Amino acid sequence: MKKKSFKRTLAISIAVLLTGTLVLTGCGGGAAEKGADANQTYDPNSALSLTWLNILHTASPPTDVIQKKIEEYTNTKVTFNWVPDASKEERITTALASGQLADIVTLTLLDNSSVRSSLKSGLFWDVSPYLDDYEHLKEIPQEVRKAASIGGGLYGVPFQKDLARGGLVIRKDWLDRLGLKVPTTLDELYEVARAFTEDDPDGNGKDDTVGFGDRSDLRYSSFKTISSYFGAPNGWKVDEQGKFTPEFDTPEYMEALNYSRKLYENGYLIQDFAVTAKSDQQQQFAQGKTGIYTGMIDIANLKNLAKGIQDGMQVVPVNKISKGDGQYHIWSEGNGVGGLLAFPKSEVKTEAELKRLLQFVDDLIDEEVYMYMTGGIEGVHYEFDGNEAFKKLDQDKWQADVQPFSSSRPSEVTYSLKDADPDKDLANQLVKENAEFAVLDPSVPLDSATANEKGTELDKIITDATIMYIMGQIDENGFKQAVQNWKNAGGGQIISEYEAAYKSSNP
């Protein structure tokens, strides 16, 4: 049965790093019997067997050490069906199409057309009438519920994330060696990228470093962050009259394109970014091949990867870069929503079953379970030092037992920890500070039938054109033609539908 023994007061935030890919160990809702039948009434303390189709971000699934603790606390037996993060889009959309689901389904790609269509189709329970009946779920802010809703329905419990986590990790020791300060403007950032490429920042007498590392995922590459620094909208711009303009059809986006193109032309941006995976981007930084990494929350993992390779590496997290006007902007990933924990009606057939599953999710937000999923077992995986700061005792054991569960936490913001690593703790503080100038995406709570049907393929038009422009394969006219192609292929209809939806929700 559930225990309530955890008493420690927590302060300042920690984000758990996610790297690598996972092995798919199964898919389907029949692996365990459910703990409720059609005639059972809701008992929050009843034993429950459930299946969970989940996304994880490590090289292999976790051991059962933490799972047993979670099951004991929540009075459940959980069968996890792991989907590799690298293939989640394909595997989840296939599962949705085939109906091979589970009692709980982790949906992180809320802008994916197949996912949105499935949510709107009535495949999943609308949980909005139930959240206020639970200790933690009732605390989910209304703006988060709205951001996670589609067509007015909330088809799962929102994963609560920090509003904006974007920022840079820069080699502080390289800055010091070259007599440079931490950049605060785009011009200063460009100069750092140049110097890291041309001025031998590691002092080995070789031309073997590049300023910006990067990867092929445009949303999480340097470009999205740089476009924020230029003041580009996040996804869409909406004016006072409710007119929608896609981010890539704005002057600020073009400024960011030209900035990134110049970086690439001069060799200050890694030349193979278009085919580079996140893990390779991290290794490039850890091995001293690049000096600027996009992804401030990965700072501790980067330092860990560098152990034994660059033990003297010093880094600094940076979250404020302006155009020189002192105005800061950073894009918000999902407006604070990291996806949904959704409950398919094909598997969860009664309201009693749904309520018991919601109780399970609510229990996952209790402090004790949060610590299991964040740090592991005190004295085994972590300890608190004399300053009440969180410190891992065995990184390898933590990665094997704990790390895969971190992305399954329904909330990353309900509690917080002070990290024993001062660089990581500073990055956590800067993530909180980002909320002051986060740029939200106005389309997140809106719905467009055309976007649901064709959004993914239309996005590819712009993604390809953006990469081609940065690499010098098309000129400005070529990019503008791609934008027009996007509009002609259905983008214009998406604009109209978003405008209508916005007007309806903002009379």
**Residue range 287-297, pLDDT digits in tens:** 999 999 999 99
pTM of the model: 0.79
- Is the pLDDT at 46 greater than 60? The verdict is yes
CB 118 within 8 A of CB 156: no
Structure tokens at 239: 């004016």
Dihedral pair phi/psi, residue 77, rounded to 5°: -125, 115
pLDDT at 407: 87
- Is the pLDDT at 393 greater than 80? The verdict is yes
Determine the average pLDDT of the residues in 421-435.
95
Q: How confident is the model at residue 202 (pLDDT cuts 50, 70, 90)?
A: very high
Q: How confident is the model at residue 172 (pLDDT cuts 50, 70, 90)?
A: very high
Which of 107-116, 312-321, 348-357, 385-394 has the weakest average pLDDT? Answer: 107-116
User: In the chain, pLDDT over 90 holds for what percent of residues?
Assistant: 75
Determine the average pLDDT of the residues in 391-403.
92
pLDDT at 453: 84
pLDDT at 33: 41
Q: Can you point out the beta strands (E) in 181-320? A: 210-212, 236-238, 244-246, 290-294, 315-318
Cβ within 8 Å of residue 165, ≥6 positions away? 15, 296, 297, 333, 431, 434
pLDDT at 40: 61
State the angle between helix axes of 251-265 and 222-229 in degrees (0 to 180), rounded to the nearest 10.
130
Which of 9-13, 56-60, 298-302 has the weakest average pLDDT? Answer: 9-13
pLDDT at 27: 41
More confident residue, 259 or 9: 259
Determine the average pLDDT of the residues in 491-502.
96
pLDDT tens digit string along 98-115? 989 999 999 998 878 788
Q: How many helices (H) and strands (E) does the chain have?
A: 18, 15
Residue 381, helix vs strand vs coil: coil
Please tell me the distance from the alpha carbon of residue 201 to that of residue 453, in angstroms, as a whole number: 49
- Is the pLDDT at 147 greater than 70? The verdict is yes
- Is the pLDDT at 37 greater than 50? The verdict is no
- Is the pLDDT at 30 greater than 70? The verdict is no
CB 10 within 8 A of CB 415: yes
More confident residue, 365 or 99: 365
pLDDT tens digit string along 457-481? 999 999 999 999 999 999 999 999 9
**What are the b/e assignments for 131-161, b being 16+ CB within 10 Å?**
beebebbeebeeebbbbbbbeebbbbbbbbb
Please tell me the distance from the alpha carbon of residue 340 to that of residue 134, in angstroms, as a whole number: 17
- Is the pLDDT at 11 greater than 50? The verdict is no
CB 134 within 8 A of CB 263: no
Please tell me the distance from the alpha carbon of residue 386 to that of residue 479, in angstroms, as a whole number: 56
Q: How confident is the model at residue 7 (pLDDT cuts 50, 70, 90)?
A: very low
Structure tokens at 467: 């990469």
pLDDT at 14: 35
CB 104 within 8 A of CB 341: yes
Q: Tell me how far CA of residue 199 lies from CA of 174, 262, 286, 311, in angstroms.
A: 10, 18, 19, 22
β-pair type (104-107, 157-160): unpaired
More confident residue, 42 or 98: 98
Please tell me the distance from the alpha carbon of residue 293 to that of residue 34, in angstroms, as a whole number: 45
pLDDT tens digit string along 222-268? 999 999 999 999 999 999 999 999 999 999 999 999 999 999 999 99
Please tell me the distance from the alpha carbon of residue 182 to that of residue 390, in angstroms, as a whole number: 27
pLDDT at 32: 39
Identify the CA nearest to 446 among candidates 502, 364, 362, 366: 502
**Average pLDDT over the chain, rounded to an integer:** 90
- Is the pLDDT at 86 greater than 90? The verdict is no
User: In the chain, pLDDT over 70 holds for what percent of residues?
Assistant: 92
